[in-house]
Amino acid sequence: MQRIYLLLITVLMVIACQPGRKKNREAINRDTSHYTKQEYIAQTLDSGQVSTFLQRHPQFAPYSELIHEFYRKRGFHYAWINEEGITEQAGGFLNMMRSDEENGIRDSSLDKSRIQSLYDSLAQQGPSIDRKDTILPVAELLLTGQFFVYANKVWGGITSDSARDLEWFIPRKKINVESLLDSMIASPKKPINAQEPVNRQYKLLRDELQKMADIVKKHPSFDSLKMDKKSYQRGDSSALIAEVKARLQLLGDMKEADSSRQFTPFLDSAVRAYQTRMGHKVDGIIRQNTLDALNRPLQHYMQQILLNMERLRWVPVEVTTDYILVNIPEFSLHAYEDGKLAWSCNVVVGKPGTSTVIFNRDMKYVVFAPYWNVPPGILGGEVLPGIKRSGAGYLARHNMEVVGASGNAISPGAISWGKYSGANFPYIVRQKPGGSNSLGKVKFLFPNEFNIYLHDTPSKNLFNESKRSFSHGCIRVSEPKRLAQWVLRKDSSWTEAKIDAAMNATKEKYVTLKNKLPVFIGYFTAWVSSKGQLNFRDDVYGHDAKLAKLLFGK
């Protein structure tokens, strides 16, 4: 299993260099004031050397124009070799690639062996390198070519078209590799890995990947743990309990060394910690789902980390504004102030078949005491059949009314219900404001073509479920009043009393936000929490499976 897994992850970023990748042809105005005589060796490259090199190394063809532009703007001076010899940045770059390979981030297009031998030869010579040695331009251009490949694959990820095929509609971050390389060359004392253009979560997951890889070296596989009764809890005694303790100690959830068969308070705390990380019901009771998670090979979780690292290559490096993130597999909403987590709450997302879309838009409106316009699918599948069975009484029981395009109410008796379906119904059926309204007492609009928004709900019991995919696509919020207060907190006129009154009114009220508030609907099945805990969640929509097929093959 381990051998197959390692073979699979060797193809991790091969997709990124497809011919369909768009080249960045935008003019780049770079600050070259940091170039000093001390950084240059006596001779320079010339455009002919660069062209010949690229002809002989077709693996760099997708970046040919960018590499030419990079050297043209620095007067064809060397970037990786100066009067002191091969630079620290070159060694740092090679160390970073080697570290990635050890962590399972592998790619056969990164020819590290040849660069390493050239680097070793030049490093041994130090400042006394032969300036006429023909390996100098080869080493220089290999390092630059590999940097472009590495930056686009490891920091950029798969192509935008591939991401859209995976139903990811959040715009991809853009990487200016030329400016990035300039910056790194200009900062010789700053480690390259400290300048990576990746989200902080990417680095946190990479660290966790390394920890897991270290465990796998010592424990290539786990023995299967088997239940001999339905559940175990505090006070029980069993040989299995001792095995669970050993597994949780290895994973870091149980801090105390204990090999006894007793279900102790320490084990109760460890099980709760593990359940929290895995998205299970947190009660300290060992059930089959807990054992199933503990029995999965660590290679399974390592692959899950790699999949989410790929997604994190697409997102902004840092967001320093206020914003909202809904993580679908986590069934959670997170509110950020100035880029820092302020608070979180549970949400209900779309069920498979009416899944919530991965995208982002700016929130523009808060709507208190909203009407709910019944969408065509629900209208044809539920409401119209109900009216045909029960008549106008169905509308009354559900606090609904029928309106025309002008918004004026239409008498139900004036409509020939039998001749209509959801597809050809010429009117709007809407639910009036009130406590039983399907949108609850408030909704939050970030206009989009998917017709998805955040809203309250009268069905509060669903928030107690550990897996919360029940909606038709929109996102139900467990703390709508808190969200309304947070969204409007910078407008002093919206006091708590005024928000309460607006939520409980019988007339719909739109509030236009003064400042845009980005809303991201994301899909992450592995992440590190604000408390430093590695979390995993189920692949609720099958997006992990699709991405794994793209990255790893069958």
Q: Residue 378: is its pLDDT beyond 80?
A: yes
Catalytically annotated residue among 17, 280, 398, 474: 474
Same-domain check for residues 390 and 483: no
Q: Which residue has the tokens 């009771």?
A: 285
Q: Are residues 140 and 98 in the same domain?
A: yes
Higher pLDDT residue, 29 or 86? 86
Taking the C-alpha atoms of residue 111 and residue 164, their distance in angstroms, rounded to an integer, is 30
**Which residue's entry shows tokens 């559940």?**
231
Q: In which residue are the tokens 């960018």 written?
A: 66
C-alpha to C-alpha distance for 468 and 445, rounded to whole angstroms: 21
Domain containing 478 — which CATH number?
A: 2.40.440.10
Domain carrying residue 409: 371-432
Same domain membership, residue 335 and residue 279? no
Q: Are 285 and 331 part of one and the same domain? A: no
Residue 277 has pLDDT above 80, yes or no: yes
Residue 511 CA to residue 496 CA, distance in Å, equals: 15
Residue 296: C-alpha distances to residues 221, 248, 336 (Å): 9, 13, 34
Over range 345-363, report the average pLDDT.
96
pLDDT bin (cut points 50, 70, 90) of residue 22 is: very low
pLDDT confidence band for 420 (50 / 70 / 90): confident
Helix (H) or strand (E) holding 1: none
Task: Evaluate whether residue 548 is within a structural domain.
Answer: no
| pLDDT tens digits, one per residue of 288-344 | 999 999 999 999 999 999 999 999 999 999 899 999 999 999 999 999 999 999 999
Per-residue model confidence (pLDDT) at position 107: 61
Would the pLDDT of 36 be above 70? no
In a domain, 42, yes or no: yes
CA angle in degrees (0–180, nearest 5) for 65-67-72: 95
Q: Which two tokens stand for residue 40?
A: 């240059």
Examine the domain organization and report whether 346 and 492 are in the same domain. yes
Assess if residue 541 is contained within a domain. Answer: no
Residues 53 and 153 both lie in one domain: yes
For the stretch 39-56, pLDDT in tens is 444 468 888 999 999 999
Element (H, E) at 512: strand 509-522
Rounded CA-CA distance 164/548 in Å is 15
Pair (428, 467) in one structural domain: no
Residue by residue, DSSP assigns 362-431 as EEEEEEES--EEPPHHHIIIIIHHHHHHHTHHHHHHTTEEEE-TTS-EE-GGGS-GGG--TTT--SEEEE
Sequence-distant (6+) residues with CB within 8 A of 143 are 79, 80, 90, 93, 115
In a domain, 108, yes or no: yes
Residue 7 pLDDT > 50: no
Query: pLDDT digits over 450-492, tens only?
Result: 999 999 999 999 999 999 999 989 999 999 999 999 999 999 9
Total Cβ atoms within 10 A of residue 344: 17
Whether residue 456 is contained in a domain is answered as yes
Is 219 a residue of the active site?
no
Domain contains 551: no
What residue spans of 2-46 are helical by DSSP H?
2-9
The count of domains in the chain is: 4
Give CA–CA dist 416/414, Å, rounded: 7
Residues 140 and 184 reside in one and the same domain: yes
133 in the same domain as 22: yes
> Average pLDDT, stretch 418-445?
90
136: confidence class by pLDDT, cuts 50, 70, 90: very high
Question: What does the pLDDT average to over 480-505?
Answer: 97
Task: Read off the pLDDT of residues 439-453 as tens digits, 9 standing for 90 and up.
Answer: 999 999 999 999 999
Per annotation, catalytic residue among 280, 334, 398, 455? 455
Give bridge partners of residue 81 from the DSSP assignment.
86
Asked if residue 534 is part of any domain, the answer here is no
- Residue 234's CATH number: 1.10.101.10
In this model, does residue 106 exceed pLDDT 70?
no
Residue 20 confidence (pLDDT): 38
Higher pLDDT, 436 or 40: 436
Element (H, E) at 230: none
What's this model's pTM, rounded to 2 decimal places?
0.84
Task: Give the burial class of 184: count Cβ atoms within 10 A of its Cβ; 0-12 exposed, 13-18 middle, 19 or more buried.
Answer: buried
Mean pLDDT, to the nearest integer, of 356-366? 97
The pLDDT score that the predictor gives to residue 479 is: 98
Q: 399, 432, 465 — which closes off a domain? A: 432
Q: Which amino acid is at 193?
A: N
Pick the more confident residue, 164 or 233. Answer: 233
* Residue that terminates a domain, selected from 432, 450, 467: 432
State whether 9 and 139 are in the same domain.
yes
Confidence of residue 253 (pLDDT cuts 50, 70, 90): very high
Give yes or no: 398 in active site: no
The mean pLDDT value of the chain amounts to 88
Percent of the chain with pLDDT over 70: 90
Same domain for 226 and 269? yes
183-204 pLDDT, tens digit each: 888 887 788 878 889 999 999 9
Same-domain pairing of 239 and 333: no
**421 occurs within a structural domain:** yes
